A and B are shown apart, each in its own frame.
Chain A
């Protein structure tokens, strides 16, 4: 879990650059006295005390508490303590820390719904144990007054418990009935109510059989299923929120010539916003100062950075690469193109809600069947004996014995086991039916940039250069943080090249770096600046004293596990497609490298969604894997979707499953696990049905006693849970 929980930090420029140190030092507007830090590397008691000691020793910090389960520290401090100071303190003692946006986290600080379910579960457990104790005495031969006393005691415990613990079922069943539908909770509620009512009646008449224990165990088992289901989703939700909270929404506003750090939500149209190299644009706008290059890959899928200069229109979500830019905001918040894309998602998403889960399908078959059966038993016995009491007792027994105790556990037990297993592999299941949908997938569509590729370039033609050329190029490249320069530095250093000393080394934002060698100018940068012909591939150009230019060409590095994932999917007989917004050359090169025969280049966001919808219309079940804003519509339109943790927030929200690590290879495993999970769910339904086939005739024949009901219920629930555990 340690490695899996760590989001891909380098691919999230906003979090590394947004809290720029100098700006924060001057900033006093920070209102929150509560800070949260994500600590992905802590794992032991020593880590906890080291971190807490270091934080509390810092002046202004009042309390610091580490939560090891969430790998998070909560700090209460004076207003002038910034998260950035604390991150540096922890860095000094060797712990990686990232600021978390307290606003995003506070939404789920306490899991109220989960706690509510747990309380009801505890009360139901307490009551059913006590009532079972009394019932066992009755079954083992308590008679007359003793039996009646025990029944009355059971009733006294059961009635308030049912009212309190059964509330989730009552509200859900009432909601379904109000909309004239039947769900699994309708037969449950009917069985509980009928069981309690007939048992009370029997008790007043000093009858032999009371089903209080059955009603309570039923509630207990079903609540256990509910709670498991809730836990699985709550874990996924809190991890997803942690990812969102890592992108602290801050921007640097220039106000009367002063820089101030503000929340993105407070930016207005016509504000001037400073974006430092490495930062993500918080608003749509127009560049008013500065030159740089912009990485648009998250929005369009293009890998080649575009040149940016004053007067150019820019969109929120683009990443500034080389020089500082001042942007005049033309659209903020909900109006930005980043948010408008969410509308596309909303339209596409309506298609997905049509999927009916296996549990719902079972309920649709099961609920009417049970009601009819129990009504028939009532009518049949009434006509046979003309005794309402006998007929009602038998009808109640039928309802209790068929009651979907095992069915209520069948799905949550399996999904909890499967989600836990996938979580350890670094996958977060966000949607409750995602596993079932994943099991049906026959076509996989990949996005290129940021999904199959890591978004970092790699030099391809190192061998074409002389040692001297490389030495000069390395010296120039070392002066810039541009991704291409960094790739060049890496490749040259790996080859053992040492830089030559250059004079007047300087970076010209948006163009490249230049310096002087023996009094002559040497440059490394864009084709137009060097005076060379641009190439189709991603490339950087070097010009030497002689005035001739040489091209360094780059290719995208593959994301870890991309090759394995594609190969494993193809071996499993899945159809693999590559749809990208990038140029045809780059897409074809990658498709060849991975052995993907079907690819589409220069696809607009609408094209991607349309193609996914077209595939669905052909009856295919599409898994979409993508990370960019241009993928969100396709992610929402697909049958099921996966996005990496480095993806934009909008893309993560639109997808069902989030890959927490940088590795793609778990995707193929996920499909296998999903298939076996669905198989287990179906098996569980079958097991539950077999129990019913054996027990129902007994109940209808009037031979069922509370003991038989209790045995059938417990054994079927336990078998189903054990079967789910076999998945591990």
Chain B
């Protein structure tokens, strides 16, 4: 059962990273234009950095 002392914190941290990433995307307006983002990936133009 000692393995639990590793596994539980690991599962919480991993879940927390997912939550943090989601909150970051919400805060930085990444869901404002889902249709546009789906189309922009097809465009060969880079609209923001990083430019290659």
Which residues of A are at the interface with B, using a C-beta cutoff of 8 A?
Answer: 44-46, 48-49, 52-53, 66-70, 110, 115, 118-119, 122-123, 126, 129-130, 133-134, 146, 149, 153, 157
Partner of A68, one of B1, B22, B39: B39
Closest chain-A Cβ to B26's Cβ sits at a distance in Å of 6
**A359–B33 alpha-carbon span in the complex (Å):** 32
Nearest B residue to A111 by beta-carbon distance? B32
Q: How many A-B residue pairs have CB under 8 A?
A: 54
Question: Which residues on the B side are within 8 Å of A44 (C-beta)?
Answer: 39
Partner of A45, one of B1, B11, B19, B43: B43
Question: Which residues on the B side are within 8 Å of A133 (C-beta)?
Answer: 11
Closest chain-B Cβ to A94's Cβ sits at a distance in Å of 18
Nearest A residue to B32 by beta-carbon distance? A67
Q: Is the CB of A48 within 8 A of B23?
A: no
User: Taking A122-B22, A126-B15, A129-B15 as contacts, is the C-beta distance between A69 and B47 under 8 angstroms?
Assistant: no
Main secondary structure of the interface of B (DSSP, over half): helix
Q: Is the CB of A68 within 8 A of B33?
A: yes
Q: Is the CB of A115 within 8 A of B26?
A: yes
Closest chain-B Cβ to A218's Cβ sits at a distance in Å of 19
Supply 24 A–B pairs (Cβ within 8 Å), ascending by A.
Answer: A44-B39, A45-B41, A45-B42, A46-B43, A48-B36, A48-B39, A49-B45, A53-B45, A67-B33, A68-B35, A69-B32, A69-B33, A69-B34, A110-B29, A119-B23, A119-B26, A122-B22, A122-B26, A130-B15, A134-B8, A146-B1, A149-B4, A153-B8, A157-B12
Beta-carbon contacts under 8 Å, B1-52 to A:
1, 4, 8, 11-12, 15-16, 18-19, 22-23, 26, 29, 32-36, 39-43, 45, 47
**A45–B37 alpha-carbon span in the complex (Å):** 9
Nearest B residue to A44 by beta-carbon distance? B39
**A44–B41 alpha-carbon span in the complex (Å):** 11
User: Taking A49-B45, A52-B47, A118-B26 as contacts, is the C-beta distance between A69 and B19 under 8 angstroms?
Assistant: no
In this complex, which of B19, B32, B36 has the most chain A Cβ atoms within 10 angstroms of its Cβ?
B36
User: Taking A45-B42, A119-B26, A122-B22 as contacts, is the C-beta distance between A70 and B33 under 8 angstroms?
Assistant: yes
**A192–B19 alpha-carbon span in the complex (Å):** 23
Nearest B residue to A123 by beta-carbon distance? B19
Q: Is the CB of A130 within 8 A of B39?
A: no
Nearest A residue to B44 by beta-carbon distance? A49
Question: Which residues on the B side are within 8 Å of A122 (C-beta)?
Answer: 19, 22-23, 26
Nearest A residue to B47 by beta-carbon distance? A52
Q: Is the CB of A126 within 8 A of B33?
A: no
Closest chain-B Cβ to A162's Cβ sits at a distance in Å of 16
**A149–B5 alpha-carbon span in the complex (Å):** 11
**A68–B32 alpha-carbon span in the complex (Å):** 10
Question: Which residues on the A side are within 8 Å of B15 (C-beta)?
Answer: 126, 129-130
Question: Which residues on the B side are within 8 Å of A157 (C-beta)?
Answer: 12
Question: Which residues on the A side are within 8 Å of B23 (C-beta)?
Answer: 119, 122
User: Taking A118-B26, A133-B11 as contacts, is the C-beta distance between A126 and B36 under 8 angstroms?
Assistant: no
Q: Is the CB of A126 within 8 A of B18?
A: yes
Question: Which residues on the A side are within 8 Å of B41 (C-beta)?
Answer: 45
**A45–B11 alpha-carbon span in the complex (Å):** 40
Q: Is the CB of A126 within 8 A of B35?
A: no
Nearest B residue to A133 by beta-carbon distance? B11
Nearest A residue to B31 by beta-carbon distance? A118
User: Taking A52-B47, A122-B26, A126-B18 as contacts, is the C-beta distance between A45 and B40 under 8 angstroms?
Assistant: yes
Closest chain-B Cβ to A342's Cβ sits at a distance in Å of 33
Q: Is the CB of B32 within 8 A of A49?
A: no
Closest 3 CB pairs of A and B: A68-B36, A45-B39, A126-B19
In this complex, which of A44, A48, A66, A110 has the most chain B Cβ atoms within 10 angstroms of its Cβ?
A48
Closest chain-A Cβ to B22's Cβ sits at a distance in Å of 5
Question: Which residues on the A side are within 8 Å of B36 (C-beta)?
Answer: 48, 66-69
